[in-house]
Amino acid sequence: MKYLQRLGKSLMLPVACLPAAGILMGIGYWIDPNVMSGLGTPSALSFFLVKAGGALIDNMAILFAIGVAIGMADDNDGTAALAGIVSWLMIQQILSPAVVGSLKGIDVSEVNAAFSKINNQAIGILSGLIGATCYNRFKNTKLPDALAFFSGKRSVAIVTALVSIVASLILFFIWPIVYSALVAFGESIIGLGPIGAGIYGFFNRLLIPLGLHHALNSVFWFDVAGINDLFKFWGTVDGAVYGQTGMYMSGFFPVMMFGLPAAALAMYQTAKPGKKKNAYGLLFAAALCSFFTGVTEPLEFAFMFLAPGLYLIHAVLTGISLAVTALLPVRSGFWFSAGFVDWLLSMKAPMAENPLFMLPLGLVYGLIYYVVFRFAIVKFNFKTPGREDDDELDMDESKVTLANNDFTQIATIILEGLGGKENVTSVDNCITRLRLEIKDYTKVSEKKIKSAGVAGVIRPGKTSVQVIVGPQVQFVADEFKKLCK
């Protein structure tokens, strides 16, 4: 669980830049719906905004590769980020349809559709983990004099490339099997009606961390098994049935427009007093992005690894939403995602049914999300944003100030209080705290550490120490890392 929480924290860096990108896309779609549907000629401004936001949203995987690599590296060194990119590029190229077709001796058109979906968040996270692991293990590698140039951190990228080749070979066999199995699973639940829609909604959310939700989406939204829900809803193809078409899209609107923003409110209100200000920035922007555009990843990735149990609850609630809306005489659809912009535009679609009913339904579902999330967070002590720590101090850490600005001196005193650099195994920091892993807790002197002028010292475990520095923690952490080298 500790490893997952660290992974979740490492995703905060790339996730933080996604809400603004999603909102830019939403504004672009709002200005001119032609950008969304691909029909007609879009205006230059809307096209510009959509492309600007899409630069980040469409490349979420590589952002995750960089963020995870840095966050999971022992010292957050930039070399780990380079390794993460190397891994991502290797996997993307080796498993591209063109290369796969060449390896199998078949035409690109015959390559399994799974390989066209290899650019996803799960592969980004995997690449970041490969890069960070290779960095942590090989950053101090010493080679013979003839190869001395490639010693140390320069060896990391080379090792990462080799490991990524092995990972690609494993994915070469596993990825299409899993992808095809999910497509077959989706086809098997088509005849279950509203229950099938609920099952689809549940697995749609559950598979997002693995990047495999595209397999299920293709069955229900496109013409893989004859449903083609998306295109039939908008009237671009024949075969739509009023009151039925759109059932695999409608249930996402109460979740994305109301449920997740309400969940964000619950997470904010249950954050620790000293962490609320920091949690607010991320949660508010992510909630707005979810409501306005239907881009949910900034909010979902903010808690899916920090609190996997809570994400499971979210998946269940999504499934229930799709089942309920499939039973009710209400249909809305989307070109992009189930946000406010798409809902408004879909009111004019030929298969839209009582779209205004989505508002009271969404408000009820938002209340359900809020109550369930708040209860679960408090009951099970889920480590959502603002609750990641085992806090023993009740203070607003964002207002903590140091006694002086000699960051080198402060870092030196803290290091001495920890028993020297030989006793420190890992250095990290959040927004206000220096987070450290140590070998021998008996060598730690809290009195010495506090003499540096810090606000407090917390010891969550025998090998963990957290020093409350305040907003200037990054400067202290940088000096601390220099002293540990």
Which CATH architecture does the domain made up of 397-484 adopt? 2-Layer Sandwich (3.30)
What was the pLDDT predicted at 460? 74
Q: How many CB atoms lie within 10 A of CB 470?
A: 18
What was the pLDDT predicted at 394? 46
Q: Is the pLDDT of residue 165 over 90?
A: yes
Largest CA distance in the chain: 75
Domain locations along the chain = 189-388, 397-484
Residue 255 gets which letter from DSSP?
I
Instruction: List all residues 6 or more positions away from 361 whose beta carbon is below 8 Å from its beta carbon.
Output: 254, 324, 325, 328, 330
What was the pLDDT predicted at 432? 76
6-65 pLDDT, tens digit per residue, is 787 788 788 778 778 877 877 887 787 777 666 667 788 888 988 888 888 888 889 989
Q: 310: exposed, middle or buried (C-beta count within 10 Å: 0-12, 13-18, 19+)? A: buried
263-287 pLDDT, tens digit per residue, is 999 999 999 887 888 888 889 989 9
Q: What CA–CA distance (Å, rounded) separates 483 from 409? A: 11
Out of 229-238, 306-315, 380-389, which region has the weakest mean confidence (pLDDT)?
229-238
Residues carrying an active site annotation: 430
Q: What CA–CA distance (Å, rounded) separates 443 from 159? A: 36
What percent of the chain is modeled with pLDDT above 70? 94
Q: Residue 401's pLDDT band (boundaries 50, 70, 90)? A: low
- Alpha-carbon torsion (125, 131, 132, 137), positive or negative: positive
Strand, coil or helix: 427: strand
Tokens of 428: 């990290």
Q: Residue 205's pLDDT band (boundaries 50, 70, 90)? A: very high
DSSP string, 436-478: EEES-GGG--HHHHHTTT-SEEEEEETTEEEEE--TTHHHHHH
Q: How many CB atoms lie within 10 A of CB 425?
A: 13
What percent of the chain is modeled with pLDDT above 90? 40
| pLDDT averaged over every residue in the chain | 87
**Residue reference for tokens 């900034």:** 298
